[in-house]
Structure 1
Amino acid sequence: MKLGAKFFMGMSNPVDAELWMKTLESIFDVIECSENKKLRIAVFLLKGKVADWWISFQSRYPDPSIMTWTIFKEAFYETYYPPFYLDAKQNEFLRLVQGSMSVAEYHVKFVELSKYASALVAEERDRCRRFEQGLRVEIWPMVIAHGHQNFGMLVEATLRVETSIREGSNQGAQVTF
């Protein structure tokens, strides 16, 4: 609990389930937890209806000793992080464009959603191209001309272009005739 583990009570938002599981896995990694202890700790942290779900799920297995962390994780994700949610997030990533967002906001959203479409952006080059495709029209041509192959450098260049455009339009607004 000192490392940030929390009880899970089955919020309706799949993001909460994902965050809970990722937090647990990070903690387990830090404390070098065995597979058996991972299962016991996770089950301990289930409360309310989720604890009832686990009891019901576990009853399907006549021999509780075959229950593993992997089985728990798969069942948990299937129940609290369903495939339709992942599909919706992947579609959101595929439709992502900068629109009225700043480059910094677009970058954050891109990184957040890209985990749902990791196969599409597995290679650095693909990640760069996908990011470029979503940029606003006034930024896109100036960025793609450089053919960035490194995502970090692409984002930095895009931030510079956005700043340059913003400063240019601010200077133009100050000119009086």
Structure 2
Amino acid sequence: MAIGVVEEQEVMAGMYNLRNAENSGTGEETTANAAAATAATAATAAITGPTNTMQKFSGDRGPPTADTWVQKCEMVFGRMQFTKVQKQELATHQLESAALFWWNSWKEGLDLMTLAWLNFKTRFDRKFVLATIRSQLSDEFLKLTQEGRTVIEYVTKFNELSRFAPYLVDTQEKKNEKFIKGLNHYLSKSLIPFDAEPL
């Protein structure tokens, strides 16, 4: 099911309340904790509904591939207002089998309250996207131009591929330059510098 902005905020607040209650160590069942548990269940239903499907990822060679899984997550995030940390939390709840073992091992010692989706994606790519595929995607980004795409399609592709060549976009100036150079000529001459944040 699709949920509205207010409902999303209530759901996420409920998830955080539930986590905080669990971390308090009191073990007391209160009305607030029960409400938080209900909200967390609603969050799961919201992201697994027919219009907001988040796939599980096991880390094996079957579908979905690592890159496809990340793209699917970002499609869902694009329709819902989550913070960077909430995106990471929701995505990691979809891991299972080998991927879940990797996550449980890697997250030890990390501050999960500040671990953003972009940081997670970087580590995830290193682990589950083959080096040869990363190299191909990096080359694709290096050669990326707008060509027959709309500007929105170009922005989407730019964001999708830029994570495989971070050295080309590691400052805002470099990102602006790469983006503008890839635009169709008539647009690049008049475009305001690109400052959109990658998904």
Give the TM-score normalised by the residue count of structure 1. Answer: 0.49
Structure with more of its chain in helix, by fraction: 1
Determine which structure has more spread, i.e. the larger CA radius of gyration. Answer: 1
Give the TM-score normalised by the residue count of structure 2. Answer: 0.44
